[in-house]
Amino acid sequence: MRKLLLAFLLITSIAQAQVIDVTTASKAITAAVLKEHLSVIASAEMQGRETGTEGERKAAAYLMSQYKKFNLKAGYNGNYRLPFTLYKDELGKSELKINGEPATLDQDYWMYSANVPASTLKTNAIIFVGNDFNDKITVDVKGKILVATENEENSMRKVMAAQKLGAAAMIIVAKTNTNTSNLATARPRLAAKSTSFPYFKVSKSFGSKLVGGSKAFSDQEWADMPKGVYSTNIEWSVEQQTKELPSADVIAYMPAKEKTDEYLFITSHYDHEGIKNGVIYYGADDDGSGTASVVTIASAFANAAKHGFVPKRNIVFMNVSGEEKGLLGSKYYAEHPVFPLEKTTADLNIDMVGRIDPTYTGDSNNYVYVIGEEKISSDLQKITNKVNNEVGHLELDRRFNDPKDPNRFYYRSDHYNFALKGVPVLFYFNGTHKDYHQPSDTIEKINFDLMEKRVRFIFNTAWEIATRDEMLKRDMPLDMTGR
């Protein structure tokens, strides 16, 4: 009897308790809490958090410990780690012979690590395509080695055309003899096998051998050179070592009770540039600030949950790696989603929100750039404006949505991989500054009061999107660029 009565009392007291409102909940986001997290994330111990390094793993371990502490669910098969592997090529020995005559690297020919897959090429004929080669050419070049001459425009255009037409390789006869090979380690990639296309440059003097010459031709002689097939022997071999870089995104979520198959994502990248020449690149703003923001927003939602708040749809907190290597952690997620992308209502991506753009002309203590929100859903900008009018009161600057803006920020952070899959996105950004991608991007330059305003605004927006009745509609015309 007594027990029963107690249980009854307990139930009524829960039912009568006031469920926390968004304004009260957002007060858990403070400059002090943001600073506490960023002090760890941007510390020397994290060694600049380069993808695939010890520093990155330490940062991931910190994030996972926080999500666990907040009682959030692990996002990937019971794990907070969503592992993936990057592959990185290191060039080894290379050999080039034209008509049996060996060429010397960095004197007779130049290679570029991004464009030299491990390969062996052997042929007794080349096709000389001259100076104005493009992919409109009607000659069948499949499997052939093409030789072009260099002009002022970027050689890569010719190389891309050659690849598109199915050629085996392209050799460019250099305009000058003052080239430098770039044999630094190639950028890491997600695919185990390289898809890069063999391309190198030869000097003008050595290059004449490609078309049967024995001395260097003049520019005019090259210009008059008949296009077509030349019987030339080429032997080219490149050795390469491919290294594996194990990495991981960190993923946690707060489960919904009602719309259990719908998701809102809040993301940042926790990787940065690591250590170069012994110097740590701390990445306090890029993107320690966004990462501290995601953790703090997660803690505010977790705190709200303790006070009766249940989101209508699941809220996923994801910190990706590999961003500085080419948005690779988010690309991996978009290619291997844990939660269906068509049921992902939006991705709110936070990348650099702790600083002030020195060129900002408005109230620099009260602004944030919002990027990409109008491109996929007509709902998102309305929601952003409504939340800002009610509680944010920030200057929302949308200048970077101008398709003519040369910075192309819309393409330069992780939300873009969600956009490519048709998920509505919003990118929060403070603009760049002199410490951008410098070792001097350190925590003492962060403006935590401004950051608090921005992060509360993002939290309010997330709350609105997580609790509204409908998913964001996808009603804007989407093309292959995700615009």
Q: Cα–Cα distance between 32 and 451 in angstroms, integer? A: 11
Q: Cα–Cα distance between 344 and 334 in angstroms, integer? A: 11
Q: Using the minimum distance from each CB to Zn ion, give the nearer residue, 286 or 347.
A: 286
* Rounded least distance, CB 215 to Zn ion, Å: 52
Residues in binding contact with Zn ion, number by CB under 5 A: 3
- Asked if 249 is part of the footprint of Zn ion (rule: CB under 5 A), the reply reads no
Q: From residue 297 to residue 336, what is the string marking binding to Zn ion with x (rule CB under 5 A)? A: ----------------------------------------
Question: Using an 8 Å Cβ cutoff, are 254 and 248 in contact?
Answer: no
Kindly state the DSSP code that residue 142 receives in the 8-state scheme: T
Q: Using the minimum distance from each CB to Zn ion, give the nearer residue, 118 or 320.
A: 320
Q: Which stretch binds Zn ion (CB under 5 A): 75-83, 232-240, 283-291, 325-333?
A: 283-291
* Rounded least distance, CB 286 to Zn ion, Å: 4
Q: Using the minimum distance from each CB to Zn ion, give the nearer residue, 281 or 339.
A: 281
Q: Which of 237, 196, 222 is nearest to 87 (CA)?
A: 196
* Rounded least distance, CB 323 to Zn ion, Å: 6
CB-count burial class (<10 Å; 0-12, 13-18, 19+) for 413 = buried
* Rounded least distance, CB 227 to Zn ion, Å: 46
* Rounded least distance, CB 455 to Zn ion, Å: 16
Question: Using an 8 Å Cβ cutoff, are 304 and 20 in contact?
Answer: yes
Q: Which stretch binds Zn ion (CB under 5 A): 157-165, 242-250, 336-344, 348-356?
A: 348-356
Residues in 420-449 that interact with Zn ion by CB under 5 A: none
User: Which whole-number Å values give the CA distances from 129 to 98, 144, 292, 370, in the listed order?
Assistant: 18, 11, 54, 47
Amino acid in position 363: D
Q: Using the minimum distance from each CB to Zn ion, give the nearer residue, 112 or 270.
A: 270
Q: From residue 59 to residue 88, what is the string marking binding to Zn ion with x (rule CB under 5 A)? A: ------------------------------
* Rounded least distance, CB 347 to Zn ion, Å: 15
Q: What angle (nearest 5°) sits at the alpha carbon of residue 117, between those of residues 154 and 198?
A: 40
| Beta bridge partner(s), residue 112 | 182
Strand, coil or helix: 166 = coil
Tokens for 190?
Answer: 């997600």
Residue carrying the six token digits 């003049």: 218
* Rounded least distance, CB 80 to Zn ion, Å: 21
Q: Which stretch binds Zn ion (CB under 5 A): 175-183, 260-268, 346-354, 458-466?
A: 346-354
Q: Which of 285, 351, 414, 441 lies at the binding interface for Zn ion (CB under 5 A)?
A: 351
Question: Going by C-beta distance under 8 Å and a sequence separation of 6 or more, which residues neighbour residue 340?
Answer: 261, 263
Q: Which stretch binds Zn ion (CB under 5 A): 36-44, 145-153, 347-355, 463-471?
A: 347-355
Question: Using an 8 Å Cβ cutoff, are 426 and 415 in contact?
Answer: yes
Q: Using the minimum distance from each CB to Zn ion, give the nearer residue, 75 or 288.
A: 288
Q: How many CB atoms lie within 10 A of CB 85?
A: 14
* Rounded least distance, CB 412 to Zn ion, Å: 8
Question: Using an 8 Å Cβ cutoff, are 476 and 376 in contact?
Answer: yes
Kindly state the DSSP code that residue 127 receives in the 8-state scheme: E
Q: Using the minimum distance from each CB to Zn ion, give the nearer residue, 170 or 292.
A: 292
- The continuous run of DSSP H or E covering 230 comes out as strand 228-230
Question: Using an 8 Å Cβ cutoff, are 451 and 289 in contact?
Answer: yes
Q: Using the minimum distance from each CB to Zn ion, give the nearer residue, 288 or 311.
A: 288
Tokens for 475?
Answer: 């009603």
Residue carrying the six token digits 């690297």: 105
- Asked if 286 is part of the footprint of Zn ion (rule: CB under 5 A), the reply reads yes
Q: Which of 249, 287, 347, 379 lies at the binding interface for Zn ion (CB under 5 A)?
A: 287
* Rounded least distance, CB 269 to Zn ion, Å: 6
Q: What angle (nearest 5°) sits at the alpha carbon of residue 230, between those of residues 229 and 234?
A: 115
* Rounded least distance, CB 56 to Zn ion, Å: 14
* Rounded least distance, CB 131 to Zn ion, Å: 40
Q: Cα–Cα distance between 127 and 286 in angstroms, integer? A: 47
Q: Using the minimum distance from each CB to Zn ion, give the nearer residue, 286 or 374.
A: 286
Q: Using the minimum distance from each CB to Zn ion, give the nearer residue, 60 or 173.
A: 60
Q: Using the minimum distance from each CB to Zn ion, give the nearer residue, 26 or 267.
A: 267
Contact positions vs Zn ion (CB under 5 A): 286-287, 351
